[in-house]
Homo-oligomer: A and B are copies of this chain.
Amino acid sequence: MSLEKLFANFDNYIPLNEEEREDLSKRVVERKIKRRQFILQEDDVCKHYTFVAEGCFKKFQVDQKGTEHNLQFIAENDWIMEIDSFYNEKPSRVFIEAIEPSVIFQITKPDLIELFMTNPKFNRNFRVIIENRFVELENRVLQAISSTAEERYLTFLNQYPKLSQRLPNTQIASYLGITPEFLSKIRKEISKK
């Protein structure tokens, strides 16, 4: 069952005991999400911390010209949050949309705070979740300021081998900050070698 995936995810950090699993399961809501369905839209306040049990989402921002820019892909066994909006109740600047049919577990802010209060282990676990994403983001900034598009693409393939097979190249190009045409050219170059 999907809840098991949520529990198992914490085994990567500090595993939960039976009681803690109970606490958590009482506070999360399972949802099935269709392809192309949004779980967060621009200007809405992000009300949930979300765990992806199955499927895949993209988090993106839309510029003045209407072009989408993918900030992140989130597949099964990973967490999505729009931190600024969630904690500070600001309108979100991003959209979060399902790329595949998905199953998620969501927890609201009051419930999360409750967990933090009653048990420091949750505090610690959720801190580690943020830290991991933090490290990922710093790596991305470094790549952005120091590498060519080809290097960034190879890093992406290396870092997300499964994801890169599930995603259309248009989406990957948006994530890398290049046009699909240029990604196509890069792929051709690589295949020559």
Within 8 A of B (CB), among A108-160: 116-117, 120, 123, 127-128, 130-131, 133-135, 137-138, 140-142, 144-146
Is A48 at the interface (CB under 8 A from chain B)? no
Chain B residue numbers with a CB within 8 Å of A189 are none
Q: A87-B131, A130-B131, A131-B83 are in contact. Are A145 and B144 (CB under 8 A)?
A: yes
Our pick among B123, B138, B146, B176 for the contact of A137 (Cβ within 8 Å) is: B138
Are A134 and B137 interface neighbours, CB within 8 A? yes
Contact present for A61 and B146 (CB under 8 Å): yes
Among B84, B128, B137, B174, point to the contact of A141 (Cβ < 8 A).
B137
- With both beta carbons as reference points, the residue of chain B lying nearest to A70 in the complex is identified as B145
Does A135 lie within 8 Å of B84, measured CB to CB?
Answer: yes
Q: How far is the CA of A140 from the CA of B117 in the complex (A)?
A: 32
CB of A63, distance to nearest CB on chain B (Å): 6
